[in-house]
């Protein structure tokens, strides 16, 4: 009987990869803090740094990497694993792994949650959009990390649930402000260095401000990795030489840099991406920074314009520059914005909220 009860709380988590991304961080956080009566297995179609993070926290992890694009062996192995391990529920975190497991769960009658909606933009490739739509239609529940994501994908209230990203309480000590801090007004942007994250606008704002306001008054940190990193560094070479901007290699943990800043930025190009619930914005709020972000996707669900920061139009470097100058010239008000953001973070984006709300969805399905 005990074994049967335990099997009823056996959860299989699926990921397309365990690389350094927002979905991977949230999957790791959820599994780490689930109640101990849940037995968890994480299975991924690609490797990454979060494999070791999970294993170091005592989580079972299996990686079955594809050898080429159309390699179906990992998918067959996945079906075999489900048949032998008998999960009570499957929770997937990627479009590929979701598409792989959807028909199998439907045939076997295994409850399945699709957690692939991590942004508020549809696939631009028609074949991927069709595959995603058909996969979402098979899911018992769809969990997105923003209202904007559910609305974009037209998920009904009956099926869709919004569960905002959480924050690992073990990281809270890293959010404490550092004193004495830099004398220059320090601005940080932490994001993947990919085309739809507008680091070009970040660099241009740094160039405009330091040209008119003096380079010693400002400092900019660009944190992240990705295919555009070397190109961005090359484009900012003059500012790097003047010690206006730096591209430190922060790895998995950006907070030692973020907590030394005066403002946190997240700039996005909506034509390529619409934000869901941004981990970067949550990290800025945790460190009591006023936030400036572009008006896209779920950003308005995190940032209250004029109270915890500012929301600016996309591609508008003049608006961004104006808000940065305002924050520097009104540092008391900027500090109050940061504290308001910190309070909003503590009320809405904790790991307790993440786990509580996710377990509630599990219970919906397991008690049916």
Q: What is the pLDDT of residue 2?
A: 47
The dihedral of CA 181, 347, 278, 338: what is its sign?
A: negative
Q: What is the pLDDT of residue 216?
A: 74
The number of helix segments (H) and strand segments (E) in the chain equals 16, 13
The 10s digit of each residue's pLDDT in 219-259 is 999 999 999 999 999 999 999 999 999 999 988 899 999 99
Domain boundaries, the chain: 2-165+350-366, 170-348
For residue 362, give every residue at least 6 positions away whose Cβ sits within 8 Å of its Cβ, in sequence order, or none. 11, 38, 89, 113
CATH number belonging to domain 2-165+350-366: 3.40.50.2000
* CA–CA distance, 263 with 292 (Å, rounded to integer): 7
Q: Place 66 in a pLDDT band, splitting at 50, 70 and 90.
A: confident
The 10s digit of each residue's pLDDT in 137-148 is 999 999 999 999
The dihedral of CA 345, 253, 243, 205: what is its sign?
A: negative
Q: Inform me whether the pLDDT recorded for 1 exceeds 70.
A: no
The 10s digit of each residue's pLDDT in 166-217 is 999 999 999 998 776 778 999 999 999 999 999 999 999 999 998 877 667 9
Give pTM, 2 decimals: 0.91
Provide the β-strand partners of residue 222: 189
Q: Which of 17-21, 61-65, 356-360 has the lowest mean pLDDT?
A: 17-21
Instruction: Report whether the peptide linkage leading into residue 172 is cis, meaning its omega lies within 30 degrees of zero.
Output: no
Q: What is the pLDDT of residue 201?
A: 97
Using alpha carbons, select from 91, 61, 41 the residue that is nearest to residue 366.
91
Q: Place 126 in a pLDDT band, splitting at 50, 70 and 90.
A: confident
Query: How large is the greatest C-alpha to C-alpha distance in the chain, in angstroms?
Result: 73
Q: What is the pLDDT of residue 124?
A: 77
Q: What is the pLDDT of residue 215?
A: 61
Return the exposure string of 185-211: e unless at least 16 CB atoms fall within 10 Å of the residue's CB, then b.
bbbbbbbbbbbbbbbbbbbbbbbbbbe
For residue 55, give every residue at least 6 positions away whose Cβ sits within 8 Å of its Cβ, in sequence order, or none. 61
The 10s digit of each residue's pLDDT in 350-363 is 999 999 999 999 99
Whether the domain at 2-165+350-366 and the domain at 170-348 fall into the same CATH topology: yes
Q: What is the pLDDT of residue 83?
A: 94
DSSP track, 176-244: SPPSS--SSEEEEEE---STTB-HHHHHHHHHHHHHHH-GGGEEEEEE--STTHHHHHHHTHHHHHTTS
Q: How many CA atoms lie within 13 A of 359 on its CB side?
A: 16
Cβ neighbours of 346 (radius 10 Å): 13
Q: Inform me whether the pLDDT recorded for 7 exceeds 60.
A: no
Q: What is the pLDDT of residue 221?
A: 97
Q: What is the pLDDT of residue 272?
A: 80
* CA–CA distance, 52 with 31 (Å, rounded to integer): 14
* CA–CA distance, 117 with 224 (Å, rounded to integer): 22
pLDDT > 70: percent of the chain: 96
The 10s digit of each residue's pLDDT in 67-112 is 887 788 999 999 999 999 999 999 999 999 999 999 999 999 999 9
The 10s digit of each residue's pLDDT in 280-290 is 999 999 999 99
* CA–CA distance, 225 with 260 (Å, rounded to integer): 20
For residue 178, give every residue at least 6 positions away whose Cβ sits within 8 Å of its Cβ, in sequence order, or none. 259, 260
3-state secondary structure of 250: coil
Domain 170-348 - what CATH class?
Answer: alpha beta
The dihedral of CA 41, 13, 26, 143: what is its sign?
A: negative
Q: What is the pLDDT of residue 180?
A: 60
The 10s digit of each residue's pLDDT in 259-299 is 999 999 999 999 888 999 999 999 999 999 999 999 999 99
């Amino acid at each position: 009987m005990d074994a049967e009860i335990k099997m009823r709380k056996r959860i299989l988590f699926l990921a397309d990869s365990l690389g350094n991304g927002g979905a991977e961080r949230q999957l790791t956080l959820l599994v780490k803090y689930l109640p101990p009566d849940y037995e968890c297995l994480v299975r991924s179609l690609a490797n990454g740094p979060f494999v070791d993070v999970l294993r170091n926290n005592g989580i079972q992890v299996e990686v079955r990497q594809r050898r080429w694009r159309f390699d179906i062996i990992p998918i067959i192995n996945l079906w075999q694993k489900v048949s032998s391990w008998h999960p009570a529920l499957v929770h997937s975190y990627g479009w590929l792994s979701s598409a792989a497991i959807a028909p199998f769960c439907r045939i076997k009658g295994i409850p399945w949650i699709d957690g692939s909606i991590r942004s508020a933009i549809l696939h631009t490739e028609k074949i991927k959009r069709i595959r995603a739509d058909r996969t979402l239609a098979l899911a018992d529940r769809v969990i997105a990390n923003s209202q904007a994501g559910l609305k974009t994908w037209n998920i009904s209230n009956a099926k869709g649930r919004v569960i905002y990203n959480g924050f690992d309480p073990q990281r809270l000590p890293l959010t404490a402000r550092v004193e004495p801090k830099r004398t220059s007004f320090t601005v940080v942007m932490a994001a993947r260095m990919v085309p739809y994250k507008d680091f070009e606008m970040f660099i241009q704002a740094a160039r405009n401000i330091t040209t008119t306001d003096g380079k010693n008054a400002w400092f900019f940190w660009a944190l992240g990795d990705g295919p555009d990193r070397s190109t961005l560094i090359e484009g900012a070479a003059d500012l790097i030489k003047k010690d206006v901007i730096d591209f430190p290699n922060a790895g998995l943990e950006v907070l030692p840099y973020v907590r030394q800043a005066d403002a946190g930025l997240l700039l996005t190009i909506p034509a390529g991406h619409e934000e869901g619930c941004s981990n970067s914005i949550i990290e800025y709020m945790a460190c009591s920074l006023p936030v400036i972000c572009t008006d896209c996707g779920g950003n308005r669900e995190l940032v209250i314009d004029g109270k915890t920061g500012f929301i600016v139009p996309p591609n508008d470097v003049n608006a961004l520059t104006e808000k940065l100058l305002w924050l520097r010239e009104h540092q008391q008000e900027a500090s109050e914005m940061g504290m308001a953001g910190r309070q909003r973070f503590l009320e809405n984006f904790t790991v307790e909220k993440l786990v509580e709300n996710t377990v509630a969805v599990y219970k919906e399905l397991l008690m049916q």
